[in-house]
Amino acid sequence: MDDVASGAVQFLAGISAVTTLLGSFSESDPVTANQGLPWVFLENPLVRVQGTSAAALVCSPAGSWSASLPYGTARFMRLSVELYVDPQRDSAQNVTETPGLTIVRGEQLFSVVNSFLHRRSSDIQIWGDLVTDSCVLLAEGQFVQVPTGDGDWLQHKQAFYGVGATGWADVAV
């Protein structure tokens, strides 16, 4: 059974408008199952984003955002979405854009991700096998430079979403 984060990873990894803005594993990756997959991760970025001129997205469970209703089965889960955006670089790995331009690229990525997560209707969506009926942006951070020690301008942003879920699509009873 998927939780809010594993379901969100599957949902977002299936949206080309999101994945085309992210880095991806090379077609020659030694792990055959990773070849060509976009950088959409569960709980931890499984790549070193710094030095790639690319972006990665990480989804994690973050507790709940509201108590369940008495005698109800609906759950109100909180989803953490983190974006890592590396500045554009030349072939010698020198940064070729200002931090402000990297943040603009990051905000464009966030806007696209948010347009698919923050819902304006109560239509049911299946994330993996998790049945969701709502998702709302609860809190949005700002991009900040990741302290890498070498001042290389990798940017990071975290946002939280409140997700309403009503169960799973494939529960065996």
Give the tens place of pLDDT for each residue, 68-108: 777 777 889 999 999 999 999 999 888 999 999 999 999 99
pLDDT grade for 151, boundaries at 50, 70 and 90:
low
- Whether 164 is covered by a domain: the verdict is yes
Range of the domain at 34: 4-168
Q: Give the number of domains in the chain.
A: 1
The answer to whether the CB of 135 falls within 8 A of the CB of 162 is: yes
Continuous segment of H or E residues that includes residue 155: strand 155-168
Alpha-carbon gap, residue 35 to 24, rounded angstroms: 8
CATH number at residue 146: 3.30.2000
Q: What is the pLDDT of residue 18?
A: 98
Decide: pTM greater than 0.95: no
| Residue 141 resides in a domain | yes
Q: Indicate whether 55 belongs to any domain.
A: yes
Could you tell me if residue 173 is inside a domain? no
Q: Is residue 96 part of a domain?
A: yes
